Amino acid sequence: MGRGWSIARRLFVANALLILAMTVFVGTAAFVDARNRGFVAAEERMLSVATAIADNPLVQEASRAAKPSAVLQPYAQAVTADAALDFITIMSPDRTRWTHPTESEIGRRYIGAIAPALAGEAFTEVTTGTLGPSVRAVVPVTDDDGTVLALVAAGVKTSNLSIALSARLPAVLAVALVLLAAGTVASWLLGRYLSRVTLGWGPEQLAQLFVYYDSVLHSVREGLVLVGLTGRVVLYNDQAARMLGLPPRPAGEERASAAAPRRLDLLNLTPALGELLQSGRPAVDEIHVTDERVLVVSQKPALSPGNERGKPAPMGWVATIRDHTDLQSMDTELRYMRTLSDALRAQTHEHANRLHTLVSLMELGRGAEALDFATKDLELSQQLTDDMIDSVDEPVLSALLMGKFAQASELGVLLTVEAAGTLAESGLSAQDLVTVVGNLVDNALDAAAGGEAPRRVQLSVTSTGTAVAIEVADSGPGVEPEAVTDILRHGYSTKEPGTFGRGLGLALVRQTVNRLGGILSIGCRDGAVFTVTLPWQPVQSPAAGETGLATAAGASHD
Of 402, 440, 406, 434, the C-alpha closest to 333 is 434
pLDDT tops 80 at residue 148: yes
> Same CATH topology for 7-164 and 220-248+262-322?
yes
- Cross-strand bridge partners of residue 223: 321
> 162 by DSSP, 3-state: which?
helix
Answer whether residue 237 shows pLDDT above 90.
no
Instruction: Please count the other Cβ atoms lying within 10 Å of the Cβ belonging to residue 12.
Output: 22
Nearest in space to 274 (alpha carbons), one of 241, 234, 315, 231: 231
CB 424 within 8 A of CB 461: no
Instruction: Answer yes or no: is pLDDT of 308 > 80.
Output: no
Euclidean distance between CA atoms 280 and 225, whole angstroms: 12
Region 306-334 average pLDDT: 69
pLDDT of 193 = 77
pLDDT digits (tens, 9 = 90+) for 439-497: 898 888 888 888 888 889 999 888 888 899 999 999 888 877 766 666 665 444 555 44
CATH superfamily label, 7-164: PAS domain (3.30.450.20)
- Confidence label for 253 from pLDDT (cuts 50, 70 and 90): very low
Under CATH, domain 328-551 is a member of which superfamily? Answer: Histidine kinase-like ATPase, C-terminal domain (3.30.565.10)
Measured distance CA(266)–CA(261) in Å, rounded: 11
Question: Can you give the pLDDT at residue 469?
Answer: 92
Which residue from 45, 38, 48 is spatially nearest to 158, judged by alpha carbons? 38
Distances (CA, A) of 243 to 18, 255, 263, 309, 322: 50, 20, 17, 40, 9
| pLDDT of 486 | 61
Could you give the percent of the chain with pLDDT greater than 70?
Answer: 72
Determine the distance from the C-alpha atom of residue 454 to the mean position of all C-alpha atoms in its chain, rounded to a whole number: 60
Average pLDDT estimate for 285-290? 77
The architecture CATH gives domain 220-248+262-322: 2-Layer Sandwich (3.30)
Helix, coil or strand: residue 91:
strand
Q: SS3 string of 94-132? A: CCEECCCCCHHHCCCECCCCCHHHHCCCCEEEEEEECCE
SS3 426: coil
Give which of 383, 389, 413 is closest to 401, Cα–Cα: 389
The pLDDT confidence band at residue 166, using thresholds 50, 70 and 90, is: low
Q: Are 489 and 462 in contact (CB under 8 A)?
A: no
pLDDT of the residue at 140: 92
pLDDT in tens, 168-191: 667 767 777 787 788 778 777 877
Report yes or no: 458 and 416 within 8 Å, Cβ to Cβ: yes
Q: What is the mean pLDDT of the chain?
A: 75
Q: What is the pLDDT of residues 379-438, one digit of tens each?
A: 655 555 555 555 576 777 777 787 788 778 778 888 888 888 888 888 888 878 888 888
**106-115, 256-265, 381-390, 548-557: lowest mean pLDDT where?**
548-557
Q: Which residue, among 306, 304, 308, has the nearest Cα to 318 in the 3D structure? A: 304
Domain boundaries, the chain: 7-164, 220-248+262-322, 328-551
| Angle, helix 395-411 to helix 367-391, in steps of 10 degrees | 130
What is the structure's pLDDT at 491?
Answer: 47
Q: Each residue of 201-223: b (16+ CB within 10 Å) or e?
A: bbeebeeeeeeeeeeebeeeeeb
